[in-house]
Structure 1
């Protein structure tokens, strides 16, 4: 199944009446609640997804800032969004898919086969002259059921051991990797052995994913080649999903470390590396 869909392809599907569930996952560290932006203008029929509460389980402790939801909780979320088993789902945001990739990854992990990211996000939709609706969309309840296990996952011990035999990528901005700044987590730096590959570098100047060829060249520069295991982390398992998606576009299967730096940095027994090298 394709990973991306263009604004024109999505518009054609909607115009033709092809059943397509569009999920609006606007979120950022600076503005985690995207409800107002969604209500002010969204793709017709798109359902708002609350990343903090529907794509994470904050009742779980010790697993980072955005622990994965349980199968039962994610099933409830999917049904609220109107998903049925076998649906085509398109996820989008206004951040180059750096937040909506979390929904893409979770839906794939839950067993949904056809999940695509709107390449270029809301900006591409607007640039194509396509319409926006306002207000909320409340769909009829769906009947989809989450069955986790379709996507590879590593835990904190797996992340610690990963660089010995594979490539562990840090998807955060380079200054955070180097330990120069840390705006939210208790310690600055990176997991020893991890290599810096900021998720923003997966995109072109228009906020679209770079071509598969360009992404392969990009990831080769940090040691990703065929046959070498790859995993990714970020601050809390959100933009790392974008890294996993970019690697998939480039032809590589990568594991996600959901706890990411927010879990690692809170464990005082875990070592921290700083500077531009893997350490």
Structure 2
């Protein structure tokens, strides 16, 4: 199953009139102005998706900073973005798909297979010299029917022992994994047994995912193997989806821990480890 679509391929698809829903997931930790960025410039016809309100429920210490919303609510949002049965969805952002991958994962989890990430995001579209629009796009409502539980997930109880039976990857920056810096969560460090695997290392300087063979080499060095169950977490379950996309490109399946470290660190009974060791 393909994960990515290149800018030139997307432009040709749009020019052909093929049914395509473009979703702009402009969000970054510490930058609350995603909507304004979208209104200033976006791919022609792209609909804005608010990660904080449409791709997450309200923050809850027992579920994390960005808990997954109820399935019925997500279906309503998807229809509001104009997604219909038979459509192809392409999601993008302006941060190497670190945010857009959350939408990609959620649609996949809801049983919607025809969703892709624009490789390199908005920067790749700009670099190709393709046109941009400004202002708000309000699509006609779609009629897509979504389900759920199509992608593997784990919970905190499983995360506690996952490193004993498989491989638990921490997709945050290395300094957060080591506990040297923690900007948002109550405790610094990582889940015992986890291996540091910053998701930023999945892309090149241009924001595009590394080639599949390079990603396979990277993950193999970290201990990923076909016979080893792999799960991924991050701060709040957003960038971990990006790592799952990278693993899929490399040919490896992986489960998501949706609550991630924001859920884990809020429970004082959960151990937190600092330093570079597991």
Give 2:124's aligned residue: 124
Q: Residue 59 of structure 1: CA displacement?
A: 6.7
SS of structure 2 residue aligned to 1:21: strand
Give 2:101's aligned residue: 101
Structural mapping, 1:1-279, within 5 Å: 1-58=1-58, 62-278=62-278
Name the Cα RMSD after superposition: 0.9
Cα distance in 2 for residues equivalent to 1:80 and 1:270 = 39
Cα distance in 2 for residues equivalent to 1:223 and 1:27 = 31
TM-score of the two chains, using structure 2 as the length reference = 0.98
Would you say how many aligned residue pairs link Structure 1 and Structure 2? 278
Q: Residue 30 of structure 1: CA displacement?
A: 1.4
Cα distance in 2 for residues equivalent to 1:264 and 1:76 = 29
TM-score of the two chains, using structure 1 as the length reference = 0.98
Q: Residue 86 of structure 1: CA displacement?
A: 2.6
Cα distance in 1 for residues equivalent to 2:228 and 2:140 = 44
Q: Is the 8 A contact 1:86 1:112 kept in 2?
A: no
Cα distance in 2 for residues equivalent to 1:53 and 1:113 = 23
Q: Is the 8 A contact 1:24 1:48 kept in 2?
A: yes
Q: Is the 8 A contact 1:190 1:272 kept in 2?
A: yes
Q: Is the 8 A contact 1:86 1:113 kept in 2?
A: no
Structure 1 moving runs of 4+ over 4 Å = none
Cα distance in 1 for residues equivalent to 2:86 and 2:151 = 18
1:93–1:55: structure 2 CA closer, same or farther, 3 Å change rule? Answer: same
CA displacement, residues 224-260 of structure 1 (integer Å, 9 cap, x when unaligned): 0121100000000000000100000000110000000
- Consecutive unaligned residues of structure 1, counting only runs of 5 or more, are none
- Consecutive unaligned residues of structure 2, counting only runs of 5 or more, are none
Cα distance in 2 for residues equivalent to 1:76 and 1:61 = 25
Q: Is the 8 A contact 2:61 2:266 kept in 1?
A: no
